[in-house]
Each structure stands twice: as structure tokens, then as C-alpha cells.
Amino acid sequence: MDKSSPRQVEIVKYLKSLRDTICKRFEGMEQSGERFQREDWLYAKGSGGGEMSVLRAKTFEKAAVNWSGISGDQFPMKDGQGAFFASGVSLITHMSNPKAPTVHFNIRYIETEESCWFGGGYDLTPMGFEFEEDTKHFHAVAKATLDCHGAELYPKFSQQAKEYFFIKHYNKERGVGGIFFDHFHSGDFEKDFSMWKSVGDSFLDTILPIYEKRIDLPFSEEDRKLQLARRAHYVEFNLLYDRGTKFGFESGGNPKAILCSMPPLAAW
């Protein structure tokens, strides 16, 4: 896989454009006027690399949006082998206001010698303060988005999110769920690609209306403490269980990019 295929080029183009749109919209919401800082990195164990965009500011205490596109000789996970290409966008927010939940979003496309598939999803994690209407809104956008591509998708993907974003040692879900899918390949590439892009395109609709309602709510020192304790659970999930983090380290990815999902501050 020395040269990018037209399909890979198209995937990368979509992902970078989505990344740009998201960063712009987040910047529009950031009250300090601060901007995302971009940092590029090269994939040492193969070709390609990534672009890491991080905003550390007033509204977004930390937001990280990573695009990466790498290829190599040896797929580093058990679910594939041989030469591979992988490209995705991965995003996380850690808001200053404890009433504003953390959101995580990822979409990725993977090709190995034998197969190719899509993965991704988004999920919401309140940091001590759960607003039922936010949870409903988040899931409603996900459902409406997926229903256009098949009525079976939302029930399946939201169940998978429940199972995936689960903190085993506390026997509880990480947050209030969302959608998650992996190894998605129906046999019809264009159809799958279209569903996958819809997930990407709907992400901002899941979260921006929630942030508009929450980022200016009053909060106390106690609220902040609870937020920092909840963020600790987030760290535990990411380092102990998350497949993306594992893939990142196993594939020899840039630790700075892998770990930029970590909260700016967490307390145990």
C-alpha cells in the first residue's frame, strides 16, 4: 500500500474537512477567543501520520480533535493482519463548566489485505450532572441519523455503545451512552460510506445545542470537585479498556496524540 488509492484519498479528504468544520464551530463557541493549535506528527513505524488540534481555553478547558492517516506492513491488532491503512478523526472535549458534559466522537476507516471496514460513534459523559433532556436530545439525533440508513442500526449501535463504554471495575456505563460500531462492512461500500459520513455530519448537532444550554450555568467548588472525580473515571476507562488507545500504543502511534484525549485535570 505504498500509494494511496482513490478511495483512501476520498476518505482522507472527508475526514479532514469534517475536522476543519468541527474546529471552526467549537471556536465559534469558545468565549475567550482562543483558537485550536495544530501539531503534526509522522508515523514512525510506517508511512503517514497525523494532525492534532488542541484548544485549551475558557469554555473548552480542553478540546482535542485528531486526524490521522497511517499505513504499515503489519496490522497491529488481532482483528486483521498484513499491510494496512487506517484513517480517522477522534475528538474529545473537557469543558470548564461541570454542568457541560464531555463528548467523545470518533470515526475511522480501516483496510487490511483481506478486508476493509468502518467504525465510529459518539457518546456523552456527564461530569456529575446529568440532564435528562440532554441525554434524550443526544440519542434522538443519533437515532434520526441512523434511521435513514436502516431501522436496525440505532438499536444495534446504541446497544454496542452501552457495552463498549462500560467501566468493568465499577460495573457501570461510562456515561449516558450514544452509538458505537466497529468492523462495519455490509458488502456495499458506497452504502456503508454514506452511513458513516452521516454519523460524522451529525456529530455537531448532537452536542452544540447541549453546550449552548450548559456552558454558562453557575457552579460551585463542590461541583468542580465532582467533575474532577468523574474525569478520573474517564482516565481509567481510556487507559484500562479503550481499544483506540490500545491500537494507538500497539501500532507505535504518537503518545502525545493518543493521550491528548486525557482531561486537563483529574482528581483521585
Closest distance of CB 209 from a copy of itself, Å? 28
Catalytic entry in 94, 104, 137, 233: 104
Rounding to the nearest 10 degrees, give the CA dihedral for residues 249, 255, 258, 263: 130
Between residues 53 and 135, which has the closer beta carbon with respect to a copy of itself?
53
Between residues 208 and 259, which has the closer beta carbon with respect to a copy of itself?
259
Between residues 144 and 265, which has the closer beta carbon with respect to a copy of itself?
265
CA distance to 26, 56, 114, 152, 207, per residue, from 144 (Å): 23, 32, 33, 12, 15
Cell numbers of 126, please? 456527564
Between residues 139 and 231, which has the closer beta carbon with respect to a copy of itself?
231
Q: Which residues sit at the interface with a copy of itself, rule CB under 8 A? A: 62, 168-170, 228, 232, 235-236, 239-240, 249, 255, 258-260, 262-268
* Rounded Cα–Cα distance for residues 41 and 28 (Å): 26
Closest distance of CB 241 from a copy of itself, Å? 10
End-to-end CA distance of the chain: 45
Residue type, 61: E
Residue 149 annotated as catalytic: no
Closest distance of CB 157 from a copy of itself, Å? 27
Closest distance of CB 172 from a copy of itself, Å? 11
Contact 92, 68 (CB under 8 A): no
User: Catalytic amino acids?
Assistant: 104
